[in-house]
């Protein structure tokens, strides 16, 4: 890998690493793989296409990182392109794992350089590398194929994490890296891993064709299985089975690593969230909509109390407080109501945690509306109020809603998935969503959902509204009167500037 690494002893070691990735992991990383990880590592040198369909949290991304480092280390001039269901998922998952395991190996630390988007060999960075890729969410099949552009080598590998949510067209284009290398002895591979959330896409297709072209490895957390992953908590798995049943869609996906009878879909697409956070709308498109507060009261010490204001198409930055006593919480909410001038306050009363706050607000004359997320919905197409409010929020985003640019809120919205239970739309259980967020409750998303607990309405047009509207119109007219197209000092004047609205 460098001039100093051309010694005979190292060459022999790298040959063994290539033939025995289990030995590579034990030697370089000083790690002991789980039983199913040993199986996956042993299959890696034998098959050009490997798929790992997995339950929740067995260590599949770790195996992808081990195999990627093995490939880079043992094949001179190798090129790897990696993608995931989203760019953030790749950054927080596989790319972070690559950095972690490199730090465990002197050989890899001396031979390669890790950056946020690329890993390169120090001696040959131009053609010996691993790159982080994104596929275009709204692109055509041809554009999806461009995800893998730029790979030209004897040794190439396409790697996909969380492949259950990646389109087939991206994966089919990735398989093209396998062609055209037989004559020159190439050893090209496609390796995918993910949860079994969808009954379509590359992971589903690999599972259907496992007896033909794919080597499929199933990783499960079934507490009654002899080949289960020890990383999946047995107590958690038994609790999930006891609460929801073995045939429940999320239990099949998260515990057993099997495809459910009905697919599971992501509620929000990342591109939808990004567009909603960047969107600009003139104030007069929502200024007479009803102002409302979504209030999520902390249940435990690690959770946050959230107040999220929304007026029509405009949702504002969520307000966050921690460790407030009930009386402090009530006064804080009253202050937020006064500052925002809200017409309606909706508070999460699931489990009765907000009872003290509700009583305190009502004593102060606030007609706060308690909402139980598990209660019966207004529309029978939904399983409960939580599913109904979340879906209405989804439609609001698609209809032009503006979201605050909040990273935590984005992650919480992207963590929400849904399926159909007896024909009714159902959201993934909140405890499972919390696991995706590292144990953090999706409080900001819940507060946003609460603002859709009641149908939107419009406020009466008041004298204050009339005064503010006249002030804006006067300022705009004044700007137009003062404008001189021949005045070089006014080159920055823009009659269509958002500031005029």
Name the packing angle between helices 60-74 and 21-29 (round to 10°): 100
Residue with tokens 């690329």: 118
CA-nearest of 131, 123, 204, 212 to 166 is: 204
Number of residues that this document lists for the chain: 501
Confirm if 385 and 374 have CB atoms less than 8 A apart. yes
CATH class of domain segment(s) 270-450:
alpha beta
Residue pair 189/49 in contact (Cβ under 8 Å)? The answer is yes
53 touches 132 (CB < 8 A): no
Question: How far, in Å, CA of 455 to CA of 453, rounded?
Answer: 7
Domain ranges within the chain, ordered by starting residue: 3-256, 270-450, 464-500
In order along its 501 residues, the chain shows pLDDT tens digits of: 444 445 557 888 999 999 999 999 999 999 999 999 999 999 999 999 999 998 888 899 999 999 999 999 999 999 999 998 888 888 989 999 999 999 999 999 999 999 999 999 999 999 999 999 888 776 666 667 667 777 778 899 999 998 877 888 888 888 876 664 544 566 889 999 998 888 888 888 888 876 678 899 988 899 988 888 999 889 989 988 998 888 888 888 889 988 887 778 889 988 899 999 999 877 767 778 889 999 999 865 556 899 999 999 999 999 999 888 899 999 999 999 999 999 999 999 998 889 999 999 999 999 999 999 999 999 999 999 999 999 999 999 999 999 999 999 999 999 999 988 778 899 988 888 887 888 889 999 999 999 999 988 776 555 565 566 566 566 655 544 444 444 444 444 444 444 433
HSE-CB of 29 using CA atoms within 13 angstroms:
23
3-256 architecture in CATH? 3-Layer(aba) Sandwich (3.40)
Pairwise CA distance, residues 455 & 467, whole Å = 28
In 127-242, the DSSP E strands lie at 129-132, 156-160, 189-195, 215-219
- What is the pTM (predicted TM-score) of this model? 0.69
Q: How far apart are CA 255 and CA 257, in angstroms?
A: 6
Instruction: Encode burial over 367-400: b for 16+ CB neighbours within 10 A, e otherwise.
Output: ebbbbebeeebeeeebbbbbbbbbbbbbebbeee
Distance CA 98, CA 391 (A): 36
């Amino acid at each position: 890998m460098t001039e100093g690494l051309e010694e005979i002893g190292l060459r022999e070691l790298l040959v063994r690493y290539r033939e025995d990735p289990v030995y590579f992991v034990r030697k370089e990383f000083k790690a002991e793989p789980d039983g199913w990880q040993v199986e996956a590592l042993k299959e890696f040198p034998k098959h050009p296409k490997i798929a790992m369909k997995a339950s929740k949290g067995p260590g599949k991304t770790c195996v992808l990182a081990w195999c990627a480092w093995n490939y880079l280390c043992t094949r001179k001039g190798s090129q790897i392109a990696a993608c995931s269901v989203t760019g953030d998922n790749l950054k927080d998952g596989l790319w972070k794992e690559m950095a972690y395991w490199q730090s465990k190996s002197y050989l890899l630390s001396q031979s390669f350089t890790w950056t946020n988007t690329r890993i390169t060999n120090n001696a040959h960075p131009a053609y010996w590398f691993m790159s982080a890729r994104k596929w275009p969410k709204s692109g055509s099949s041809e554009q999806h194929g461009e995800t893998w552009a730029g790979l030209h080598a004897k040794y190439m590998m396409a790697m996909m994490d969380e492949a259950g949510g990646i389109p087939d067209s991206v994966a089919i284009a990735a398989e093209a890296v396998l062609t055209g290398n037989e004559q020159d002895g190439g050893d090209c591979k496609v390796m995918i891993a993910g949860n079994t959330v969808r009954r379509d896409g590359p992971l589903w297709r690999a599972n259907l064709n496992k007896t033909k072209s794919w080597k499929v490895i199933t990783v499960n957390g079934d507490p009654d299985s002899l080949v289960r992953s020890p990383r999946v908590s047995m107590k958690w798995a038994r609790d999930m089975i006891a609460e929801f049943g073995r045939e429940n869609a999320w239990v099949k996906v998260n515990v057993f690593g099997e495809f459910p009878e009905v697919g599971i879909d992501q509620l929000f697409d990342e591109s939808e969230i990004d567009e909603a956070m960047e969107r600009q709308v003139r104030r007069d498109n929502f200024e007479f909509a009803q102002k409302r507060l979504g209030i999520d009261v902390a249940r435990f010490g690690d959770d946050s109390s959230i107040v999220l204001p929304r007026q029509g198409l405009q949702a504002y930055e969520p307000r966050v407080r921690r460790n407030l006593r009930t009386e402090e919480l009530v006064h804080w909410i009253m202050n937020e109501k006064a500052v925002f001038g809200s017409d309606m306050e909706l508070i999460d009363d699931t489990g009765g945690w907000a009872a003290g706050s509700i009583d305190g607000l009502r004593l102060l004359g606030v007609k706060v509306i308690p909402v139980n997320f598990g209660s019966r919905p207004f529309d029978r197409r939904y399983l409960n109020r939580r599913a109904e409010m979340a879906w209405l929020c989804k439609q609001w985003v698609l209809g032009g809603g503006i979201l605050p640019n909040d990273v935590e809120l984005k992650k919480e919205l992207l963590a929400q998935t849904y399926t159909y239970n007896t024909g009714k739309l159902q959201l993934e259980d909140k405890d499972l969503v919390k696991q995706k967020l590292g144990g953090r409750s999706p409080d900001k998303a819940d507060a946003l959902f609460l603002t859709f607990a009641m149908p939107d309405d419009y406020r009466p047009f008041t004298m204050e509204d009339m005064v503010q509207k006249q002030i804006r119109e006067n300022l705009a007219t004044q700007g137009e009167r003062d404008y001189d197209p021949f005045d070089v000092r006014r080159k920055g004047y823009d009659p269509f500037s958002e500031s005029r609205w």
